[in-house]
Amino acid sequence: MLCALVTACSRPAEPWRLTDVSGHLPDLSFSLVDDSGRAVSGQSFEGRAALIYFGYTHCPDVCPETIARLMQVLQLIGADANRAQIVFITVDPARDTPAALHSYVRAFDARHAVGLTGSDRAIESLAKRYRVAYQAEKRDPDGSYEVTHSSAVYIFDAQGHARLLATDNDSVDAIAHDLRRVIDPTQS
């Protein structure tokens, strides 16, 4: 009988559905400007799970699709959404001013999403820190251009530790399932 109780209590946690990056990526650390023009740091998001996505407001497809998927995730987790924050970090700081980011992210969600920008050097340094690739493409004759970039979502826990990586191949349900566990580890 005691053996059965010990076995039940020591049952291993359910495996993650997303890619576990715990211990493989650095903690959330940066100094940028939010879409209201205020200086923010990685510590500004402590106390909430942070879903970090690198993109840009002129992105024709992947960025709006990803943010829309993250909004579906927040809907699925219900009240736990108040313990999460979508953080959209631009890879196009030349065009993505705080005002442009504000309009963009607020079109998705005024409570749970924030846009961040900074100097080219600050964005480049942060992208390298989390192994995000991006590059501005050749300008069109009218001056417009696209930026190719990685499309993964980095999920950090409330203490700012990198925990999970979600890709386009991960379902909204899988992201919601694992985000709930990051928000409340007792759900494992």
DSSP 101-168: HHHHHHHH-TTTEEEEE--HHHHHHHHHHTT--EEE-PPPTTS---EEE---EEEE-TTS-EEEEE-T
pLDDT tens column, 138-181? 888 888 899 999 999 999 999 999 999 999 999 999 999 999 99
- Computed over every residue of the chain, the mean pLDDT equals 92
Amino acid letter for position 157: D
Alpha-carbon distance 30 to 34, whole Å? 12
Is 24 labelled as part of a ligand binding site? no
Element counts in the chain: helices (H) and strands (E): 5, 10
pLDDT at 110: 84
The reported pTM is 0.90
Q: pLDDT above 90 covers what percent of the chain? A: 84
Domain boundaries, given as residue ranges, for the chain:
15-41+49-137+146-183
Residue 42 Cα distances to 14, 36, 112, 126, 142, angstroms = 29, 16, 16, 11, 37
Q: Which of 40-54, 86-100, 119-133, 139-153 shows the lowest mean pLDDT across its residues?
A: 139-153
The C-alpha R_g of the chain, in whole angstroms, comes to 18
CB 181 within 8 A of CB 20: no
CA separation for the pair 104, 98 (Å, rounded)? 10
Pick the CATH number of 15-41+49-137+146-183 from 3.40.50.300, 3.40.109.10, 3.40.30.10, 3.40.50.1010: 3.40.30.10
- Report whether 63 belongs to an annotated binding site: yes
Using pLDDT thresholds of 50, 70 and 90, give the confidence band for residue 13: confident
DSSP annotation of 27 reads: -
Location of structure tokens 């190719």? 148
Per the listing, tokens 């699709």 go with: 65
* Residue 9 known to bind ligand: no
